Amino acid sequence: MKQFDKLSVRDLMARCRVGVTAAERSKPQDILVTVTVWADLSRACRSDRLVDSVDYKRIKLDVLGELERKPFRLIERVAQRVADIALRDPRVERVNVVVQKPGALRHARCSEVEIERSRGKAAE
């Protein structure tokens, strides 16, 4: 079995219109996104060249662009879109996404969803 390395972008803050009600979606809210990808990074480890690695800045920019562009009802859908973006890179074999929505529930720091997807199993 092939082993993969892990690369993460943690606690990426995005301004996103997300919520079940129209009122929640009427204005952007802060959400936190953590994206962890598994890929073979051995070539990048040897070459010290970005072209041989997964470009986490590109993932960050694509995620922010997507989340700030359109409204969502569920953080589950937000997580799936982030996973789809990460899996665009053919080196990424697996992705784990955690989406936190601070202040979504009274008496709780945040609501959170965590999903994991693998190559060939990305949702539309």
Crossing angle between the packed helical segments 75-86 and 56-69, to the nearest 10 degrees? 140
Give φ, ψ of 66 to 5 degrees.
-70, -45
Task: Decide if 60 is catalytic.
Answer: no
Give the contacts of 112 (CB within 8 A, at least 6 positions apart).
75, 98, 99, 100, 101
- Give the 3-state secondary structure of residue 66: helix
Active-site residue, selected from the candidate residues 57, 70, 101, 121: 101
Q: Which residues are known catalytic residues?
A: 101
